[in-house]
Structure 1
Amino acid sequence: MKKTKQKFKGNNKKNNSKKASGKRGSSKKEIVEAKCIDIDAEGKGIVNYNGQEIRISNLIKDETAKIEIIKKGRHITGNLLKVLKPSPKRVKARCPHYDKCGGCQLQHMSYKDQFQHKQLMVEKLMKPFAKVNSIITMDNPYDYRNKAHATYSYKNGKIVSGFYEEKSHKVIPVDRCLIQSTKADDIHKTIRKLMKSFKMNPYDEDTGRGLIRHVLVKVGFATKEIMVILVTPSTMFASKNNFIKALRKEHPEIKTIIMNINNKRTSMVLGDREKVLYGKGTIQDTLCGYTFNISSKSFYQVNPKQTEKLYGKAIEMANFKGNEVVMDAYSGIGTIGIILSKNVKSVIGVELNKDAVRDSIKNAKQNQVNNARFYQGDAGEFMLKMKESGEKLDVVIMDPPRSGSDEKFLSSLVKISPKKVVYISCNPITQARDMKFLAKHGYKAEEIQPVDMFPQTAHVECVVLMSRVDK
């Protein structure tokens, strides 16, 4: 690492005194040249600074760059100033907001190099368990997200919508997000126009005044049905009927509009209360030949095209014979449980979210699936009760959140001892951690399949088959 410049914050003599340098909050900056030695799981380049690894956005392995090192106490961070020796993998990001937004992490790499990086990352994590299949990629790695969220604000006296700048609450105006539905972008554009004509103000975090905090748009890719969720600080909404009429006139494919009330000073987007302003409060989409109801808070995979490939692979891995009893843990609105139901004797779905359970029961009924039952509760506790009553499970399908599962759930799984575990995860790091626990308790990884569900980002989905090793 080559040092090129060093200075303290500010230029006056006071900043260079011992008294000033010891002040709480003072920072020391240094400009250095450094070589990127690797890329981490968040898509950031890693450079070595005095024996410490520093993460730098938009940097590729083997690149040399000019970097600003910022030291605040023991905390050290860095910013990319200029790439001096670019990698052949580097491309110009298509999004003009890429350097500030933070929603995508790998647009500065060609798509081929993106998925090759993800392949190597999964192989490194899964090396102790089994060989990793080649990653399943996308034909078109753009316009895939069926859920689009935007924050509304003022900028230079103009109503804007977009995303928070990385590590801040400053809104970056975005007219077109390249990874989400183009229809969602059009709706956000219309809402901004209508807000101006209806004299509606975006919410101000500092004063607590204004009406529109966030807007979420959910799109049924197969059905073309659209849900709009308006997040507001209160139930007061003047001229709401005329606003809804004007919005639907521009976009008749909008099937439902919901007002979600969030009056808390929080980074959480959705509040606990909501009111349906138009329609049934749900939309439908079709996945793997089955139709699903989607509500405002229900979890539904954001990339339907890749989800069909993911679920197809998971079912193929399980190699069902038709007589299995299967638990769909973390079952959400019942998607994978309902889709695999035709291949097995029965499905038991368990989910904590009561709204999702309600949706899953409706989804099973409307798809005429009679061998699937869905329950609200903790899946680990449910398995223990099954064990106590002498019931058995042949296969457990689990798709936990990014934080992975916990030892309580995994211990319950081991006690009921299904023959197979199909583990779907959007975070291979926590997945590998949980696989290590299962491997210590009698399970062996048979097949590992990464799927690129989130092109342009550092995230990757992975499905793993683990089988019980009989003693």
Structure 2
Amino acid sequence: MPEKNQVYTAEITGLTSEGSGVCRIDGMAVFVPQTAVGDICGVKIVKVLKSYAFGKAEEILTPSPDRIEDNCPVYKKCGGCLLRHISYEAECRTKEGIVRDAFERIGGLFPEFDEFIGAESTERYRNKAQYPLAVRDGRAVCGFYAPRSHRVIPVEDCALQPEIFSDILQTVLDYINVKKLSVYSEETNTGIIRHIYLRRGAHSGQIMVCIVVRKDISRQLSALCRLLSEKYSDINSIIMNINPDNTNVILGDRCITLWGSDTISDTMCGNNVEISPLSFYQVNTVQAERLYAKALEYAAPGSSETIADLYCGAGTIGLSMAKQAAKIVGVEIIPQAVENAKENALRNGITNAEFHCGDAGEVFGKLRRQGCKPDIIVVDPPRKGCSSETVDIISEAAPKKIVMISCNPATAARDAKLLSERGYSVDKVCGVDLFPRTGHVECVVLLSRQKS
């Protein structure tokens, strides 16, 4: 067994979904951050558990062919990117392997794996950023959390965000510091301004600035609204979101429009959509369109078929399929997102879509009792996957096809396994990279009801 604080020479043979390299020392798996497959390292053991250990690379003795120089000054401190030290080709291979491993090893499933869909651009692709605030040397700063902590790492510019976000961010920070506005502290649950939250329409260019606060400070922000609206012509909306709770959840339920519109507009899969602060909207628009195109390919709805879209958000997936199907029935738990979905359907002249608010399992169960019999179910659950109730209700509905979109291949494989035990074959899986340079990867899964 490796000993803590000792340094061993080892070769990295794999990467985890968290972006850590894996080597074996004295027969034990050791996880080493910021290493690449093929690196030969001097690994210092920092923690030893019963069946595995954690280490850090004290020295790269022989670098991997996949290794590149990272181009971010805070890469090793920030918890955002995990894979800036390897080539993008290596990153895609790694993520494709993570998807395959989840289904074959975790799920015990062996579907056909379609070609992995990598991103066309690995920089400046995000349409949303949420920056926590902190106080350093008496001044407000913001950035991103260090790994596995809520310690803010100040960031002047992030290569994943549009450049204009950095300019807007600095303007807001300067205002907070000049006006000496109070910054929230998680440790003491005191202070007022918690986050600066920015959204941008990838196609429209429209920008929303959202200031997350513990209480209403509209009067203190009025001059900031004038400053931002005069300085940045792309800003269409300035919102104050109120979150008074002692929680690590970023947004509260109450939004107050301080200037401009309540929403911003964008285009997704040819449909015009409105995006509110609370709406779910994929952060990489270009890749999301490719993801939804793959989902539509798998669903292949006929003109007489009904699609149920569970966890539908602002309706973007279902609406992208509406022209090919007879009817879309969407279910989403966030009321504002449901209203956005209804407005998006109306705005695009889509009359064959309806949206319902509530828990996916409960609402869809009620709709089924009222006679809703979908031919195809599209499900896009959160990272924790589908609830057991939702899996049961989906299988009881017995659609011909299930198309699952997931941001967590492990829970997707788990849910696909459960559905396979309820009469469905897992036919195809396709990995899609919506989050280049990070450890996240999405997948689309096609399941078909077995005739027996």
How high is the TM-score relative to the length of structure 1?
A: 0.89
Q: Take 1:204 and 1:41, find their aligned partners in 2: how far apart are those partners?
A: 31
What's 1:395 paired with? 376
In structure 2, which of residues 51, 63, 66 is the aligned counterpart of residue 86 of structure 1?
Answer: 63
CA RMSD of aligned residues (A): 2.1
Q: Take 1:364 and 1:49, find their aligned partners in 2: how far apart are those partners?
A: 57
1:356-371 aligned within 5 A: 356-371=337-352
Cα gap change, 1:30/1:156 in structure 2, threshold over 3 Å: closer, same or farther? Answer: farther
How high is the TM-score relative to the length of structure 2?
A: 0.93
1:102 equivalent in alignment to 2:79: yes
Q: Take 2:246 and 2:59, find their aligned partners in 1: how far apart are those partners?
A: 37
1:369 is paired with a residue of what secondary structure?
Answer: coil
Question: Are 1:420 and 1:466, in contact at CA under 8 Å, matched by a contact in 2?
Answer: yes
Cα gap change, 1:56/1:266 in structure 2, threshold over 3 Å: closer, same or farther? Answer: farther
1:252-263 aligned within 5 A: 252-263=233-244
In structure 2, which of residues 394, 405, 408 is the aligned counterpart of residue 413 of structure 1?
Answer: 394
In the TM superposition, what is the alpha-carbon distance from 1:342 to its structure 2 partner?
A: 0.7
Q: Take 2:186 and 2:311, find their aligned partners in 1: how far apart are those partners?
A: 34
1:189 is paired with a residue of what secondary structure?
Answer: helix
In the TM superposition, what is the alpha-carbon distance from 1:171 to its structure 2 partner?
A: 1.6
Task: Flag structure 2 segments of 5+ consecutive residues without an equivalent.
Answer: none
Deviation string 1:106-154 (CA, Å, 9 cap, x unpaired) is: 1111011111111122223334231211111222211111001112223
Task: Flag structure 1 segments of 5+ consecutive residues without an equivalent.
Answer: 7-27
In structure 1, which of residues 42, 53, 65 is the aligned counterpart of residue 41 of structure 2?
Answer: 65
1:384 equivalent in alignment to 2:365: yes
Q: Take 1:378 and 1:203, find their aligned partners in 2: how far apart are those partners?
A: 32
Q: Take 2:168 and 2:161, find their aligned partners in 1: how far apart are those partners?
A: 12
Letter matched to residue 135 of structure 2: Y
Deviation string 1:165-198 (CA, Å, 9 cap, x unpaired) is: 1122322111111112222122102112222333
Give percent identity, aligned residues only: 37
Question: Are 1:198 and 1:243, in contact at CA under 8 Å, matched by a contact in 2?
Answer: no
Question: Are 1:146 and 1:180, in contact at CA under 8 Å, matched by a contact in 2?
Answer: yes
In the TM superposition, what is the alpha-carbon distance from 1:50 to its structure 2 partner?
A: 4.6
Greater shift in the superposed pair: 261-270 or 414-423: 261-270
Q: Take 1:208 and 1:412, find their aligned partners in 2: how far apart are those partners?
A: 41
Q: Take 1:396 and 1:72, find their aligned partners in 2: how far apart are those partners?
A: 45
Deviation string 1:300-357 (CA, Å, 9 cap, x unpaired) is: 0000001111111111222222110110011111111111111110010011111211
Q: Take 2:320 and 2:372, find their aligned partners in 1: how far apart are those partners?
A: 23
Greater shift in the superposed pair: 126-135 or 297-306: 126-135
Quick check: which has more Rg, 1 or 2? 1
Greater shift in the superposed pair: 292-301 or 179-188: 179-188
In the TM superposition, what is the alpha-carbon distance from 1:460 to its structure 2 partner?
A: 1.1
1:298-447 aligned within 5 A: 298-447=279-428
1:278 is paired with a residue of what secondary structure?
Answer: strand
In the TM superposition, what is the alpha-carbon distance from 1:209 to its structure 2 partner?
A: 4.6
Cα gap change, 1:446/1:280 in structure 2, threshold over 3 Å: closer, same or farther? Answer: same
What's 1:112 paired with? 89
1:215 equivalent in alignment to 2:196: yes
Misfit runs of 4+, over 6 Å: 72-75
Greater shift in the superposed pair: 73-82 or 182-191: 73-82
Q: Take 1:153 and 1:382, find their aligned partners in 2: how far apart are those partners?
A: 41
1:291 is paired with a residue of what secondary structure?
Answer: strand
What's 2:436 paired with? 455
Cα gap change, 1:167/1:387 in structure 2, threshold over 3 Å: closer, same or farther? Answer: closer
1:343 is paired with a residue of what secondary structure?
Answer: coil
Q: Take 1:132 and 1:250, find their aligned partners in 2: how far apart are those partners?
A: 49
Question: Are 1:387 and 1:415, in contact at CA under 8 Å, matched by a contact in 2?
Answer: no
Q: Take 1:391 and 1:299, find their aligned partners in 2: how far apart are those partners?
A: 25
Question: Are 1:35 and 1:47, in contact at CA under 8 Å, matched by a contact in 2?
Answer: yes
**Larger RCO: Structure 1 or Structure 2 (Cα < 8 Å, ≥ 6 residues apart)?**
2
Deviation string 1:363-411 (CA, Å, 9 cap, x unpaired) is: 1111111100001123323443344445421000011011111221111
In the TM superposition, what is the alpha-carbon distance from 1:436 to its structure 2 partner?
A: 0.9
What's 1:191 paired with? 172
Deviation string 1:3-29 (CA, Å, 9 cap, x unpaired) is: 8xx8xxxxxxxxxxxxxxxxxxxxx63
Question: Are 1:325 and 1:345, in contact at CA under 8 Å, matched by a contact in 2?
Answer: yes
2:322 is paired with a residue of what secondary structure?
Answer: helix
Q: Take 1:237 and 1:356, find their aligned partners in 2: how far apart are those partners?
A: 24
In the TM superposition, what is the alpha-carbon distance from 1:40 to its structure 2 partner?
A: 1.0
In the TM superposition, what is the alpha-carbon distance from 1:214 to its structure 2 partner?
A: 1.0
Question: Are 1:105 and 1:457, in contact at CA under 8 Å, matched by a contact in 2?
Answer: yes
Question: Are 2:357 and 2:363, in contact at CA under 8 Å, matched by a contact in 1?
Answer: no
Letter matched to residue 32 of structure 2: I
In the TM superposition, what is the alpha-carbon distance from 1:237 to its structure 2 partner?
A: 4.9
What's 1:467 paired with? 448
Question: Are 2:29 and 2:53, in contact at CA under 8 Å, matched by a contact in 1?
Answer: no
Letter matched to residue 420 of structure 1: K
Letter matched to residue 107 of structure 1: R
In the TM superposition, what is the alpha-carbon distance from 1:246 to its structure 2 partner?
A: 0.9
Greater shift in the superposed pair: 197-206 or 398-407: 197-206
Question: Are 2:309 and 2:331, in contact at CA under 8 Å, matched by a contact in 1?
Answer: yes
1:311 is paired with a residue of what secondary structure?
Answer: helix
